[in-house]
Structure 1
Amino acid sequence: MDLSILYRGPLASCDYDCPYCPFAKRRDSREQLRADRAALERFAGWATAQTDDRLSLLFTPWGEGLVRSWYRRTLAELSRLPHVRRVAIQTNLSCRTDWLEDADPGTLALWCTYHPGQTPYDRFLAKCRDLADRSVRHSVGVVGLPEHLAEARRLRADLPAHVYLWINAAEGHTYTDAEAAEWTAVDPLFPYSRHPHRSAGLPCRTGESVISVDGEGTVRRCHFVPAELGNLYDGSYRRALRPRACPLAVCECHIGYVHLESLPLYDTFAGGVLERIPASPVQLLRATPP
């Protein structure tokens, strides 16, 4: 079976205090960190044992995972397993990068977000260049707030041409056509992020070939639909995997709507769906956002 899994354990702490993030500078207690580590190790053990499946894994912690040693070690170890096709994580890239020496760059990928005001620009750019030097697959992005536009343009100019720079529409922000055009000049796929996508009743790969798993092993079709499909560790979720339509009115997050069959994003991001990397610059330019 080919299965993509979005894993989100109990970790909720972050080393940044972005004003647009509810988890900014949140601290986990030692007990919470121990619980997160145990949950991650349990999940990694399960993934390691699934040698009859072909797994693609995306870690989407509420907080910043790579500042924790157990995330760095787990990603490196999973990247070396022959039945793991991709292992990726969303990160602010504040961690050191020497741990990547132990990872397989053919399997590992990073989904990196630059947060202006939280880290010096030159430091973030140097880490991106280090990833490129190590041949680590990565995308880079910025939240599309008006005060971030100049930094986003600067980052696009300084990153290698092959590194995709994505822009996420800021939650609760409405863009005029003129503003949207400015962001689209930076990221040709920004129109997909600008408005929520109507999804009610439309076919979606989640719940069939894509699932969401929490720290307890509870399986849901995605992070945004609370209905449970079963548990990962007792295998009960497998009986529930089937084609299904989305029960929500709209889908407004990339890690959700990328899986809608009504959108062409599996072609646009072929081979890089989890880490948000387009198949090629040609695919990016040929994309026709709504």
Structure 2
Amino acid sequence: MDLTLLYRGPLASCDFDCPYCPFAKRRDSPDRLRADRAALERFTGWVAEQRGDRLRVLFTPWGEGLVRSWYRRALVELSRLPHVERVAIQTNLSCRTDWLAEADRDTVALWCTYHPGQTPYDRFLGKCRDLAGRGVRFSVGVVGLPAHREEARRLRAELPPHVYLWVNAAEGHAYTDAEAGAWAEIDPLFPYSRHPHRSGGLPCRTGESVVSVDGGGTVRRCHFVRAELGNLYDGSYRAALRPRACPLAVCDCHIGYVHLETLPLYDVFAGGVLERIPAGFPAVSRTPGA
């Protein structure tokens, strides 16, 4: 079996206070943290046992995972498994980075988001440069709010040239053509994020070669469709894997629409779909058609 798994456990706590995030500065109870750790260890144990499969894993926690030792350990352990082609995580990069010395850097990758006002710019940039010096695969991004644009430009100018900087359209924000053009100067692929993508009735890889898994092992086609396909740990999900159309009218999140078969993003991000690194970057010139 060839499968991509998007894992999201109970963790919901974060050390940042971003005004656009509903989980800002949320604290998990000790019981919830223990439950999250146990769920993650169960998941990584399952992955380790699937030696006959080809797997890719993206951790998409609501909170910040890498400040927790069990997420760092999971990335190191999974990166060293021969049947795991990629293991990546979304992170605000507030954690230390020395633990990556233990990971297989051909397999591990980070999807890093810079949140202006939440962490000093120089600290974030320094960690990015440290990652680059360690040979770690990573992308960097920002939310495309007007107040973030100048810092995003500065970050693009000061990041190592081989590091892709993406821009996510801010939820609920309508961009004029001039505004969108300014963001596209920073991220040539911003046009893909500017508008939600029509998805209803269109073919999508989720539910066939891509699935979402929660802390209890419940498998869904993606994070945004609540219908259950079965459970990871009893194997019941396997019979439900098949090509299927998206049941939602639109898809407005990159971790969802990147899997739409009507978009060319598997070619655009070939080899870097999970960590959001375009193929051949920095020579990125492909944009959506009219």
With the length of structure 1 as denominator, give the TM-score of the two structures.
Answer: 0.99
Give 1:272's aligned residue. 272
Give 1:243's aligned residue. 243
Q: Name the aligned partner's letter for residue 91 of structure 2.
A: T
The number of aligned residues is 290
Give 2:111's aligned residue. 111
- Distance in 1, Cα, partners of 2:88 & 2:289: 25
The within-5 A match list for 1:190-205 is: 190-205=190-205
Give 1:287's aligned residue. 287
Give 1:214's aligned residue. 214
The within-5 A match list for 1:134-213 is: 134-213=134-213
- 1:236 match: secondary structure: coil
CA shift, 1:193, in A, is 0.5
Give 2:6's aligned residue. 6
Q: Name the aligned partner's letter for residue 140 of structure 1.
A: V
- Distance in 2, Cα, partners of 1:181 & 1:120: 27
Instruction: Give ranges in structure 1 of 5+ residues lacking alignment.
Output: none
Give 1:24's aligned residue. 24
- Distance in 2, Cα, partners of 1:197 & 1:149: 24
Q: Which runs of 4+ in 1 moved over 4 A?
A: none
Give 2:95's aligned residue. 95
Give 2:33's aligned residue. 33
Instruction: Give ranges in structure 2 of 5+ residues lacking alignment.
Output: none
Q: Name the aligned partner's letter for residue 49 of structure 1.
A: E
Paired residues of 2:161 and 2:282 also in contact (CA < 8 A) = no
Give 1:257's aligned residue. 257
CA shift, 1:281, in A, is 2.7
Q: Name the aligned partner's letter for residue 219 of structure 1.
A: V
CA shift, 1:160, in A, is 1.2
- Distance in 1, Cα, partners of 2:139 & 2:2: 23
Paired residues of 2:152 and 2:186 also in contact (CA < 8 A) = yes
- Distance in 1, Cα, partners of 2:123 & 2:2: 38
- The percent of aligned pairs where both chains have the same amino acid is 81
String of CA shifts for 1:192-218, please: whole Å, max 9, x gaps: 101000000100000000000000000
- Distance in 2, Cα, partners of 1:146 & 1:231: 42
CA shift, 1:288, in A, is 3.4
CA shift, 1:289, in A, is 5.1
String of CA shifts for 1:51-76, please: whole Å, max 9, x gaps: 00010000000000000000001110
CA shift, 1:284, in A, is 2.0
Q: Name the aligned partner's letter for residue 86 of structure 1.
A: R
Q: Name the aligned partner's letter for residue 151 of structure 2.
A: E
With the length of structure 2 as denominator, give the TM-score of the two structures.
Answer: 0.99
- Distance in 2, Cα, partners of 1:137 & 1:281: 12
